[in-house]
Structure 1
Amino acid sequence: MGVPRVYCSCDVCEEARAEGKNRRFRSLAQLTDDSFGTMLIDCGPDWRSGMEAFGLRDVDTLLITHAHFDHIGGLPEYADLCRWLGRRGKAYAKQEVIEEILVRFPWLRNQIDFLPIGDKLTFGVWETICWRVNHGKNGYAYAFRFTHAASGRSFAYCSDAIALQGEELEPLRDLDVLILGTSFYEEPFAFETRSVYDVKEGLQLIERLRPGRTIFTHMSHDIDLTRDYGLPPGTAFARTGMSITL
């Protein structure tokens, strides 16, 4: 839901209003590389605010992880951008995700080309794979792994997942950077009602996967960025506008 939540007066939401360390949009990653331009992973309802805040006027490509509103709510505004710029947008997603998006927003096909993802994609000098991950009570989502064709450096974006097992985990091994969704520090609700790792579970997962660096995203107002949680070296919470380089 982003932070602050309109209805909430908890310490984290009040700090977000007053100082802004905890102010955060719905999860989205901007990827920029000379070989493919500017790409966004997901396009949630804070898309316009994020574009304005960081001086972006256009993007070349979108990747969509799944069709939940917090990941696609900005698509109508992206379509409006394409209309006014006189060009067609380009969004990649799995076929069933495209179908779900177009059930909700059928007019988007007037401005955006939705391109179904097969086994592999290539964006410039990056080879990309996309695979289904367990999203708990909320069904499933997809994650993306990018590998540089020359250097072999790699990163993965897995924002909405929980209790991954077997083949779901394999693309998350041998990463330079893992971006992982963790909504709570320690989520108190029954497991069968949950849909995203909490931080404690995320730390256990990276003990197994041992990526070079981990960034936790998709955080609720349970996470207070003014606190020191004692995260291990190479592990950090995402911050609005945070930039990293591979």
Structure 2
Amino acid sequence: MKLKFLGTGTSQGVPVIGCTCEVCTSTNPKDSRLRSSAMITTEESRKILIDCGPDFRQQMLSNHEQHVDIALITHEHNDHIIGLDDMRPLIFKSGKNMPLYCYHRVGEEIKNRFPYAFADTKYPGAPAFDLHEISNEPFQILDTEITPIEVIHYKIPILGYKFKKLAYITDASFISETEKKKLHNLDVLILNCIRKLDPHPAHFILPDIIKLHKELQPKKLFLTHISHHFGLYDVEEQQLPDGIHMAYDGLELEF
């Protein structure tokens, strides 16, 4: 299986509009970060999208991706769902509704923001989705077993997802001891890390990541959902503890 990072940035993306900091003005492609999203390619070449933010169209074109079989949604914030309308060409090409897997609460928010996709009589050219409600229990889809991981993002429960020995978690600020049990013995753990030092109410910062790395001991840990406050890739990557790496847009991992 493979995971490709389609985007590794925060809700504003990097560069941030109007910012002239060294990260936002960097010419290194690894310092440009679209909104966080990832694509899983299964052993049978099926495509599982994790989150569909405002950069979805650009991400698909830049990575020469032409198909999505299903989408897993972590939560309902705009930087994770507002690109769903751009799935229309994929829906039209397949002739099928796009299956979306998420919490019931998240599905209701998707209905509220895209009511035309669920209308009894649809406008010609509107997208069409099939919502599949999931709970915090493993489920089988396509040729893959997926284990949800419930984490807390500020005050709301959201989902990360585990595939084999890889786990992808974005927008977390707390992981319970019960959920941590799912994260032991991993080859790859992917965690959000918005910046290095200043505490954030809704996201992990680097000291949190270092503590989790020591506790969970994955073979490799990659940071995603990284803001421009973290620093330049070429500088910060060299200073991270052994086993911890900054992800970047387009990075592909086999697992």
Determine if the TM-score, normalized by the shorter chain, exceeds 0.5. yes
Tell whether 2:128 aligns with 1:111.
yes
Per-residue CA deviation, residues 147-190 of structure 1 (Å, 9 max, x unaligned), is: 2xxxxxx111111111323223222222111010011011x25x
Partner amino acid, structure 2, of 1:173 = H
Per-residue CA deviation, residues 113-132 of structure 1 (Å, 9 max, x unaligned), is: 11111422113453212132
Instruction: Give the structure 2 partner of residue 196 of structure 1.
Output: 203
Instruction: Give the structure 1 partner of residue 17 of structure 2.
Output: 6
Structure 2 counterparts to residues 102-141 of structure 1, below 5 A: 102-109=111-118, 111-118=128-135, 119-136=137-154, 139-141=156-158
Relative contact order: is structure 1 or structure 2 higher (C-alpha 8 Å, sep ≥ 6)? Answer: 2
Partner amino acid, structure 1, of 2:138 = K
Runs of 4+ aligned structure 1 residues displaced above 4 Å come to none
Instruction: Give the structure 2 partner of residue 245 of structure 1.
Output: 254
Tell whether 2:144 aligns with 1:144.
no
Per-residue CA deviation, residues 36-83 of structure 1 (Å, 9 max, x unaligned), is: 601111011110010010111221111000000010011011135313
Contact 1:156 1:178 in 2 (8 A): yes
Instruction: Give the structure 1 partner of residue 77 of structure 2.
Output: 68
- The offset of 1:196, in angstroms, is 0.6
Instruction: Give the structure 2 partner of residue 211 of structure 1.
Output: 218
164 and 34 in structure 1: CA distance in 2 versus 1, 3 angstrom threshold? closer
SS in structure 1 opposite 2:213? Answer: helix
23 and 184 in structure 1: CA distance in 2 versus 1, 3 angstrom threshold? same
Partner amino acid, structure 2, of 1:53 = S
Per-residue CA deviation, residues 194-230 of structure 1 (Å, 9 max, x unaligned), is: 1010122101111001011111000011122121352
SS in structure 2 opposite 1:50? Answer: helix
206 and 40 in structure 1: CA distance in 2 versus 1, 3 angstrom threshold? same
- TM-score, length-scaled by structure 2: 0.85
Higher alpha-carbon deviation: 201-210 or 112-121: 112-121
CA separation in 1, counterparts of 2:216 and 2:24? 33
Structure 2 counterparts to residues 10-49 of structure 1, below 5 A: 10-15=21-26, 18-35=27-44, 37-49=46-58
SS in structure 2 opposite 1:156? Answer: strand
- The offset of 1:34, in angstroms, is 2.9
Contact 1:35 1:123 in 2 (8 A): no
Higher alpha-carbon deviation: 235-244 or 98-107: 98-107
**1:184 paired residue among 188, 195, 199:** 195
**2:241 paired residue among 208, 232, 241:** 232
- Give the fraction of aligned pairs with identical amino acids, expressed as a percent: 32
**2:175 paired residue among 164, 169, 172:** 164
- TM-score, length-scaled by structure 1: 0.88
Partner amino acid, structure 2, of 1:227 = V
- RMSD over aligned CA atoms reads 1.8
Contact 1:79 1:112 in 2 (8 A): no
Contact 1:134 1:141 in 2 (8 A): yes
Q: Which consecutive residues of structure 1, in runs of 5 or more, have no partner in the other structure?
A: 148-153
